[in-house]
Amino acid sequence: MSWRDLMCGEPRPEQVGQTLTLAGWASRRRDHGGLVFVDLRDRTGITQLVINPERAPEAAALAGEIRNEFVLQARGELVARSSETVNERMATGSVELAVDELTIVSRSTPLPFQLDEENVDETLRLRYRWLDLRRDKLQRNLRLRAQMVGIIRRHMEAAGFLDIQTPILFKPTPEGARDFVVPSRLHKGRFFALPQSPQILKQLTMIAGFDRYYQIAICFRDEDLRADRVQELTQLDVELSFPDREELFVSMEQMFARIWRECLGIEIETPWERMTFAEADRRFGSDKPDTRFALELEDATALTRQSEFGVFAGAEAVRFLRVPRVFSRAELGTLEELAKVYGARGLAYLIRDESTGEIRSPIAKFLSDVELEGLAIAAGETLLFAAGEWAATSKILAPLRLHLGRELSLIDDDLFTFLWVTEMPMFERDEDEDRWSAVHHPFTRPTDEWRHRFADEPGAAVANAYDIIVNGNELGGGSFRIHEPDLQAQVFDLLALSAEEQRAKFGFLLDALAMGAPPHGGIALGIDRMTMVLAGEPNLRDVIAFPKNQAGLDPMSGAPTAVTATQLDELGLEVVVEDTP
């Protein structure tokens, strides 16, 4: 016996008159005085079943029992719908199945939520994820993800990259998050760490001579969850020997172009714009600028050096946004509140009135004519200022710019603007620990210019590192790596890793680098984020089949759960503090 002759989305007028068997889920039942209509659904769509008691009395008797999400099998004749009942919005909307035989294959308990219900609590959705995943949107997101991964694999294979699997039980790899650790039973008191990325391992595949590596790799990062973060993320991980940056960039651009073309039918422009980190910071205050709209940051530091307005004169940087709009007092208040969230003490502004041409601002009286002329405020414009340390002004103005971009509808939602941000800084100061830390990771190579002097001025040193940004989202990043053991040791020294720590943590890498390491470099792209952008899906968890919730728990299985006393004993562990979620 075969379960079905066609999928539910397939019947068409051409098959009218044929006897067909269909199977799927009851997604809606409607009783019309004797006639029962059921929408039978599977992943391909819906076909309407019509159960007429005169035609099929047994089926009609059973139809009364059907509830949403029952699994049914129906056999009958495909008939054309009368012209007034044709549904143009459905692919199968001009036909229906006149049922002769009906089987209830599986029943369902009452549903915790309906599939078409909006705003269902996320924990409830995750608790019953198998139901949630039956929804159109999630079906679409996961299919799109699979389609994308298929394209990625084909692209990488065609370009000569070899899929190499690396271990999940490994040793801490530094990507800046906490490690998930796994206790070893055979070696009590010892722990594996789940890889934060296969970074060192992929470098070892280059040292091992594989030349071109890729993997769709799962990475584990024990970090606090935010809307756009998960602890278990999937990456396209890539590494090349004797790398040529152009080759890597072009290959990635072609891959994205193919994904966008095949998944969305959209041609994206290549080559992508490139911008150094310094330029991105100067123009947008951000290392991941949304370049779909302008509203760039401007710099008034030099102009206001001698200002009578002390806040400006004394600040390391005075920068502003020139907004083509006159704001009301209330709007300015809202913008100021927002600026305060990002660390501003207040939000100085200058407005030139549309009609009178006068400047309205509490600070105008402190500014000289030269300053005001230099700012060249056009009628109908508002300038919004941030003053302070350079980095602080970026931190305030970048989110303000994004907010205004959205509020003032400056962003074309249909646009995908891809960008390479290059020449990233190599180190940043970790104020809490009072030492330098690597911005990317400690294996990142300085640019040739900084090769011999990064230690003299770590805060200014530039790395041969790059990110892929689309519409202000960082989709991935990578770098060229250090392949010289002495240079690697110098970087470790600068990161305040003692010789013993270097040995204990990375001895195997240093040994490998000392045995004929080719120059190498690579990139990693976030598959989850790529799917989000591709699907236009704002919720990261909705591009993942079985995600944890925002508290890092799985409401479906209840994981993480306690283990038995025996297991603890075998592992040589004792639970000292217990969390009661």
**Residues at the interface with ligand ASP (CB under 6 A):** 175, 197, 199, 477-479, 522-524
Question: Would you state the torsion angle of the CA atoms of residues 245, 251, 257, 259, taken in this order, to the nearest 10 degrees?
Answer: -130
Shorter beta-carbon distance to ligand ASP: residue 442 or 472: 442
Cβ proximity to ligand ASP, 397 vs 463, nearer residue: 463
Smallest separation (angstroms) from ligand ASP to the CB of 91: 42
Determine whether 265 is exposed, middle or buried from the number of CB atoms within 10 Å of its CB (0-12, 13-18, 19+): exposed
CB–CB of 109/128 below 8 Å? no
Query: In this complex, which beta carbon is closest to ligand ASP, that of residue 59 or of residue 523?
Result: 523
What is the nearest approach in angstroms of ligand ASP to the Cβ of residue 176?
9
Residue placing its CB nearer to ligand ASP in the complex, 48 or 234: 234
Residue 324's SS3 state is coil
Tokens of 513: 């680098």
As measured in angstroms, the least distance from the Cβ of 100 to ligand ASP is: 58
Least separation in angstroms between residue 120's CB and ligand ASP is 33
Between 97 and 240, name the residue whose CB sits nearer to ligand ASP.
240
Please identify, using beta-carbon distances, which residue of 462 and 523 lies nearer to ligand ASP: 523
Longest dimension (CA), the chain: 94
Nearer to ligand ASP, 133 or 218 (CB): 218
3-class secondary-structure state, position 50: strand
Residue 266: phi, psi to the nearest 5? -110, 135
Q: Tokens 């994904």 label which residue?
A: 259
DSSP-derived pairing of the beta strands 232-241 and 520-526: antiparallel
User: Helix H segments across 344-425?
Assistant: 369-375, 390-407
* Closest CB 491 distance from ligand ASP, rounded Å: 14
223: its two tokens: 């970090």
Q: Of 321 and 475, which CB lies nearer to ligand ASP in the complex structure?
A: 475
- Alpha-carbon distance of 360 to 346, in angstroms, equals 17
Work out how close the CB of 221 gets to ligand ASP at its nearest, in angstroms, rounded to a whole number: 9
Please, which residue, 27 or 479, has the CB nearer to ligand ASP?
Answer: 479
Would you state the structure tokens that stand for residue 265, as one six-digit string? 């039918």
Q: Which is nearer to ligand ASP, 3 or 508 (CB)?
A: 508
> Could you give the CA distance from residue 553 to residue 580 in angstroms, rounded to a whole number?
12
Reported residue count of the chain is: 581
**Measured between alpha carbons, how far is 532 from 62 in angstroms, rounded to an integer?**
43
3-state secondary structure of 543: helix
CB of 355 to ligand ASP, least distance (A): 53
Tokens of 505: 């943590």
CB of 203 to ligand ASP, least distance (A): 9
Residue 478 CB, nearest approach to ligand ASP (Å): 4
CB 377 within 8 A of CB 303: no
Q: How far is the CB of 202 from ligand ASP (least distance, A)?
A: 7
Q: Which helix (H) or strand (E) holds 282?
A: helix 277-284
- Six-digit token string for 329: 């007092």
Residues 197 and 175: their CA atoms lie apart, in Å, by: 7
Shortest reach from residue 553's CB to ligand ASP, in Å = 25
**Quick one: which of 309, 327, 326 has its CA closest to 318?**
309
The full 3-state SS of 375-388, as one line of letters, equals HCCCCCCEEEEEEE
Parallel/antiparallel/unpaired status of strands 95-106 and 45-51:
parallel
Nearer to ligand ASP among residue 23 and residue 523 (C-beta): 523
